[in-house]
A and B are shown apart, each in its own frame.
Chain A
Amino acid sequence: MTRRLGCLLLGLSAFLMAQEGHPLTGTWSGDWGPSAAQRTHLTFVMTWDGKKVSGIINPGPNSMPIGDVSIDFSNWTVRIQATGIAAEGRIEDLASVHRSIKGTWKQGAVSGDFRLTRD
């Protein structure tokens, strides 16, 4: 019964939470990699100060500042740059608190895809 109730609550939570401010603000998690078998975990924390989006990738001892983020509002394409990293993806499910960004990721000489979902 407890587990059943837990399942119910978890299911409902996905529908009932909200974040209605700047679409990139918040904590995002996901991964990137050159193939389905080779994936590297990603955590993004992004904020909007009224003029630009800033933040860090993988908070902790190996964190990296996000250099530049831009959005093309005509198609909700996001371009992210950090040291040695260039990523471009599209915001999907914009109205959901758990919206996501999917696209291409290039880090050094390695290219792949990435997916981030807002927590």
Chain B
Amino acid sequence: MDHSLSELEFLRPSWRALQRVAAVFRRQSGARPRRTEVRRCTLKRAPHWLGVFVLAGVLAQGQSSHSATYDTERHVRLQGPVTRVDWVNPHAFFFIQVGDANWAVEFGEPLVLERQGWNRNSLRVGDVVSIEGNPARGQKKQAYATSVTRSGQRLFTARAEAPARRAEPTPRWPDGKPRLGPAPGKKGYWGSASASALVENVGTPIPMNRDGLLENLADIDRVAPLQPWAKAIYEFRQRNLLKDDPYNRCVPPGGPRQFLMPNGFQFVEQRELGRILILLGGGDRNWRVIYTDGRPQGQASEAVLSYYGNSVGRWDGDTLVVDSVGYNEGFWFTNGGLPHTEALHLVERFSRPNLNTLHYEVTVDDPRAYTRTWTGTWNIAWVPDQEIQEYFCEENAESTFVR
């Protein structure tokens, strides 16, 4: 955010209405406006255009990637009283007064923090805290806390994982097939992924941050068998610190990326209807359908192109095998910015070796972007006794900077 709080306060009265309009319009595949229309708007409605551009800028940065927002090469220590706590999805913030400045401190996703036992009352206005973290890029009074201490007691540690749980057997349906959701009478959802981005499963792990930003650009050739144009685009995105990520503009995280998001997801197996729904905790509460009624997969060229594709699934022993085609090119299908085309064909394999682990494997077949098919895998941890929470991307900018 390059706007000061005072600038954004000026926009507050019309913010909600604009958000609704933007959300509706964002989902349209609209053609570019005719030039005459643009010119009329430009000349006669210049004051409104000014507001539009400012607001669009706010919207476009409503959910910036961590790498583009924070400078992980720099560190900051701050101490002061808490003046406000915003316990909101997807990023929780508190504000502290440091001298004459009021700093906005991001300290993780509420859902993840709650997995660790924290809640919205763990930190209160007036508490004096010390934080260590990474400052925002530029001159903004904003930081991402890697630790928060109050009266010598460490409170939050960003990105800490929940403690390991005892392995329990896979819950199963009466016919013996694994349940992908909770056992009857229980709650839970799938939370943290063991990987931050999709990469090919060869050799040693590739160092990268939570957004899929490589620590070393020389590793690009190890990420996936990219065609030259795809490699160039991927490198361009990496060099730009992923700031052009469509997800930052609330575009759905289609493809394997849906299983990398911190807000988790849930399977709803509607066996009587021959389908499985995947409900996403992030990505504007998107949902995806996997048809398991035996229908054949259609041709990619005939599909209505979409963010989550056309998916058909079948069980191969204890593994759900899902075949998907029909993806549009409007999104990044993994953190980190690997490109894909409309020819993308995914084969996903889901297995649940025990209650707490979902093993995910995806084979990527996109001959227009890659030189051959390739496979990536990761595990996803079960979060027992909790539910995914409401999260609307558009709310983020308002909740953290405007309200």
Contacts and interface: CB of A to CB of B under 8 A. Distances in A.
Interface of A: 3-23, 25, 48-50, 71, 73, 76, 94-95, 98, 119
B10 interface: no
A3 B45 contact: yes
User: Which of B29, B56, B60, B240 is the most central at the interface, judged by chain A CB atoms within 10 Å of its CB?
Assistant: B56
Contacts of A23: 229, 233
A105 B25 CA distance: 37
Contacts of B367: 50
A21 B328 CA distance: 9
Given A48-B368, A94-B236, A119-B31, A4 B45 contact: yes
A18 B249 CA distance: 10
A7 B49 contact: yes
A13 B30 contact: yes
28 contacts: A3-B41, A6-B37, A7-B48, A8-B18, A9-B21, A11-B49, A12-B21, A12-B25, A12-B55, A12-B56, A12-B59, A13-B25, A13-B33, A16-B25, A16-B56, A16-B60, A17-B29, A18-B330, A18-B331, A20-B332, A21-B342, A22-B229, A22-B341, A25-B341, A48-B341, A71-B229, A95-B236, A119-B31
Q: How large is the interface on B (under 10, 10 to 19, 20 to 34, 35 or more residues)?
A: 35 or more
A91 B31 CA distance: 21
Interface in B240-268: 240, 244, 246, 249, 251
B179 interface: no
A7 B249 CA distance: 20
Contacts of A73: 228-229, 231-232
Contacts of A16: 22, 25-26, 56, 59-60, 249
Contact of A8 (B37, B52, B368): B52
Contact of B329 (A20, A94, A95): A20
B326 interface: no
Contacts of A76: 232
B282 interface: no
A14 B22 CA distance: 11
Contacts of A50: 227, 341, 343, 367-369
Interface string B52-72: 110111011000000000000
A11 B49 CA distance: 7
A12 B33 CA distance: 11
B185 to A, nearest CB: 43
A106 B236 CA distance: 30
A21 B37 contact: no
Interface in B1-56: 18, 21-22, 25-26, 28-33, 37-38, 41, 45, 48-49, 52-53, 55-56
Contacts of B369: 21-22, 50
B345 interface: no
Contacts of B48: 4, 7-8
B110 interface: no
B340 interface: yes
A95 B241 CA distance: 13
User: Which of B53, B60, B228, B341 is the most central at the interface, judged by chain A CB atoms within 10 Å of its CB?
Assistant: B341
A15 B30 CA distance: 12
A94 B239 CA distance: 13
Given A3-B45, A12-B26, 14 more contacts: A4-B45, A7-B45, A10-B41, A12-B22, A14-B56, A15-B59, A17-B30, A18-B249, A18-B329, A21-B329, A21-B340, A50-B343, A50-B367, A95-B236
B182 interface: no
A67 to B, nearest CB: 19
Contacts of A11: 41, 49, 52-53, 56
Contacts of B135: none
Contact of B330 (A19, A94, A119): A19
A76 B236 CA distance: 11
A28 B371 CA distance: 27
B249 A15 contact: yes
7 residue pairs, one from A and one from B, having the closest CB atoms: A21-B329, A11-B52, A73-B232, A95-B244, A50-B368, A7-B41, A15-B56
